[in-house]
Homo-oligomer: A and B are copies of this chain.
Amino acid sequence: MRGAVVSISEGRNGAAATKARILDAAEALFMEHGFEATSLRAITAAAGANLAAVNYHFGSKEELFEAVLKRRLDPMNQRRVALLTQLEHDAAGRPVPADRVVSAMIMPALELARDPARGGANFLRLLGRAYADPAPFIRRFLSVHYAEMIARFKEAFARALPNLPRRELSWRLHFIMGALSYTLAGTDALKLIHEIAPSDDGGNDELLLRRLAPFLLGGLTAPLADLDEAPGDLDGAPGIPPGPSR
């Protein structure tokens, strides 16, 4: 009765199969409802497993959530770093152009989005949502699993954009992660606001990321703001001389 869900033979290891089914079901449900609003009962029911299986295989609900993230996030970040390393090797000591560094950040996400067998776009939505989650254990997890990649890319951007002050670069990387996460989280309601037809992106996350790349590059290489401007005078054009209006 138990193996009814599994497609082919589950080999000699039904246990590992259960663990995997729970991971898949948890990924889908966490993605749809968020961490707090998803119950272990809903997960185990969807996975065709017993309620106690989660605590047996993962220890707790929080550890299950971390396992769901870790399964796909670590490989993606490793791929990002590997791509950047390759670019730096090809550049032979010269700085890697900024647009290529941006591509190295985005392409692994694109590959993941294109591969339904690895969770497809669903996982990216879950990830984007995790960025905004206030739970301390999630924040701790993300900072641990992103630290190395971010540091590497910050170095690369610093060399590609020598005129951009270090502190400004930190902020712009922050903005980049924001636009990226938010876009991936992709709540339908906001898409609706922008009147983006479903056909424009339905499953086509590749197109989405292709549009995102020039946007991020444009923001990253934008002229600096005049931070000495008097407060309250923000409507003065930042980085651009006052237009003919007014």
B-chain residues with CB within 8 Å of residue A221 when the two chains form the complex: 218
Report B-chain residues with C-beta under 8 Å of the C-beta of A99: 237-240, 243
Q: Shortest CB–CB separation between residue A85 and chain B, in angstroms?
A: 13
A74 CB-CB contact with B under 8 Å: no
In the complex, the answer to whether A128 meets B132 with C-beta atoms within 8 Å is yes
A142 to B187, CA, bound (A): 11
> A208 to B200, alpha carbons, bound, how many Å?
33
Distance, CA A227 to CA B215, complexed state (A): 13
Q: Which residues of B contact A97 (CB under 8 A)?
A: 237, 240, 243, 245
Q: What separation, in Å, do the CA atoms of A192 and B145 have in the docked complex?
A: 12
A37 located at the interface, meaning its Cβ lies under 8 Å from any Cβ of chain B in the complex: yes
Chain B contacts for A200, CB-based, 8 A: 167
Residues from chain B with a CB closer than 8 A to the CB of A142 are 189-190, 193
Verify if A222 is at the interface (C-beta below 8 Å from B).
yes
Query: What secondary structure prevails in chain A residues at the interface with B?
Result: helix
Give the distance to chain B from A222, nearest Cβ to Cβ, in Å. Answer: 2
List the B side residues contacting A185 at CB < 8 Å: 132
- A192 and B191 CA atoms in complex are apart in Å by 30
Q: Which residues of B contact A147 (CB under 8 A)?
A: 193
If the complex has contacts A175-B212, A218-B220, A220-B218, are A187 and B139 also in contact, measured as CB distance less than 8 A? yes
Contact indicator per residue, chain A 198-217, by CB within 8 Å of chain B (1) or not (0): 00100000111111111111
A90 in contact (CB, < 8 A) = yes
State in angstroms the CA–CA spacing of A229 and B210 once bound together. 10
Residue in contact with A207 in the complex, picked from B87, B227, B244, CB distance below 8 Å: B227
The 4 lowest CB-CB distance pairs between A and B, nearest first, are A218-B222, A178-B182, A139-B189, A36-B36
